[in-house]
Amino acid sequence: MHYDGGTAAQAAVDIHLSGPAGACSRNLFGHFIEHFHRQVYGGLFQPGSPLSDARGFRLDVIEAMRELRPSVVRWPGGCFVSSYHWVDGVGPRRRPHYDKAWRVTDPNTFGTREFVEWCAAIGAEPYICTNAGTGTAEEMSDWVEYCNLPAGSGRWSDLRVEHGSPEPFDVRYWSIGNENYGDWEMGAKDPHEWARLVTESAKMIRRVDEHATLLTAARADLDWMLPLLAGAGQHLDALSIHGYWDVLNEVNRPADYLTALSRSLGPQHDIERTRHIIGATGLTGRVTIAFDEWNLRGWHHPSGTGADALAARDQNDDNSTYTMADALFTAGFLNTCLRNADVVTMANIAPSINARGPLFVHDAGVVRRTTFHVLAMYATLLGESALTSTAHSPSLAGADVPVLDHLPTLHADTGTLTVALVNRHPSAELSCDLSVGGQPVTGELDATVLAGPGVDAYNDVGTPSRVVPERTRIRVDEGRVVLPPHSVSVVDVPLPVTRTPGTVGARQRRSDWYLDHRVWRPGA
């Protein structure tokens, strides 16, 4: 049934408490920064700006990024990394290099040390993607030595000390390559070439740091993945897959609201294909999935080296692009990853700053786009574990996706629930019956709701607060909650309270009910 906004259509969610919940990795709230356009230079790094500290880091950017509680940040690319040699970006004497990926000159003033320090400033773990395009297995492993081995271990760790960093940087996450399956990538490989390079690179990295968490570029494709996992699977922790569902690299014509939301099921399809390939190779539970580049909108970078092609990249910074469509797609993507947290262990919004990112940075300040607020809501309000549920929803006319998307989560320390509820309808409220263990929820509930004045609402330099979340109380009568159109609501839901056996009229503590029903908790 397609829902066109009529009052008769209803959705329903029943949250299950009879089985264990699935713990979700904080790395699903990860981020990504690449040397593209104004992400680094003129974004997070702007020496000489009155808004920057002595290191050149924009303090307003640091403050905003902390609001997102970022778990991990991937860097330096992206396509940039396939011609990037890390030694050019360390030490006191750095020389610019021509970036063959994005066809500009990179000054190399932001390199490994600056990245690690910036991650520490925003409270995130650094994640380094290595050059598997024009680079070598030895160069990758040397970078690991530079970052992670103690002084006196060898040439590269001693070079770090010479550069003023006696203590290791302790970079835990490393990736071999970026999109090396694509003909757009420098150093692209066929499946068997790639499998061999990854195997040898992984072996060398493990011999430098056996405790590194190691990922590699992959795609949700059987022919690509089978040779890779057969050769290198024993050395890997995760497969790096990417997704942009509104492809805009040559023509910047962003999809409208319904078209954008019609692609909301794409991430689930990619996860399922990759899950089955991992299972077919016998690596379930050993190798997981990292969606370490994702966004609704692909980056605009038309072909060519001329001034017009480079200037066209400014179109990525048009804030009117990032509307409630982006916000609701983002919520749906996160719901999908959290529902599949048994196999998806990392996700990195691409990028974090400028271009298509949630944070727009200009010379005088920052703008938190609609996606920023969804990312902040999910990273700060949801519980640590995802619960299962039974749901019913009509389809959205014009998009062929459910009108309702949802995710119930559990706060393990308190045994309380927080539920994300997404109404994708562009103009109609959605009435949803909400129950926990078959018992209708009733009462006034604390909620945070993001719903702009229209589907095309956006935040900009002059109007930074047109779309912001509202902390409110919502009324639920016998399970019935009404969700605003084009909205994301994060709602705190009380557990049912039952009578304790052997007592008359006594109300059992919610924490006891939670333990009796075998919901996951730390140490269980």
Which CATH number, 3.20.20.80, 3.50.30.50, 3.40.50.300, 3.20.20.70, labels domain 25-382? 3.20.20.80
Mean pLDDT, to the nearest integer, of 148-176?
A: 98
State yes or no: pLDDT of 323 exceeds 70.
Answer: yes
Sorted by where each begins, the domain ranges of the chain are 2-20+386-516, 25-382
- pLDDT band (50, 70, 90) for residue 6: low
Asked if residue 520 has pLDDT above 60, the reply is no
Give the model's pLDDT for residue 446: 97
Residue type (1 letter), 17: L
- In CATH, the number for domain 2-20+386-516 is 2.60.40.1180
Are the C-beta atoms of 458 and 36 separated by less than 8 Å?
no
Q: How far apart are CA 406 and CA 417, in angstroms?
A: 13
Structure confidence by residue, pLDDT tens digits, 361-417: 999 999 999 999 999 999 999 999 999 999 999 999 989 999 999 999 999 888 899
For the segment 496-516, the average pLDDT, to the nearest whole number, is: 37
The pLDDT value given to residue 415: 84
Question: Is 247's pLDDT higher than 90?
Answer: yes
Helix (H, G, I), strand (E, B) or coil at 201: helix
The answer to whether 202 and 217 are in contact (CB under 8 A) is no
- Of 173, 266, 282, nearest to 220 by C-alpha is 266
Question: Is pLDDT at 514 greater than 90 in this prediction?
Answer: no
What one-letter code names the amino acid at 316? Answer: N
pLDDT for residue 499 is more than 90: no
Alpha helix positions (H), 212-362: 222-232, 257-261, 266-280, 307-311, 324-339
**Residue 210 is encoded by which pair of tokens?**
């056996």
Residue-level pLDDT at 9: 46
pLDDT in tens, 78-96: 999 999 999 999 999 999 9
Give the E-state strand segments of 375-429 in sequence order.
385-386, 389-392, 395-396, 404-411, 416-423
At 191, the amino acid letter reads P
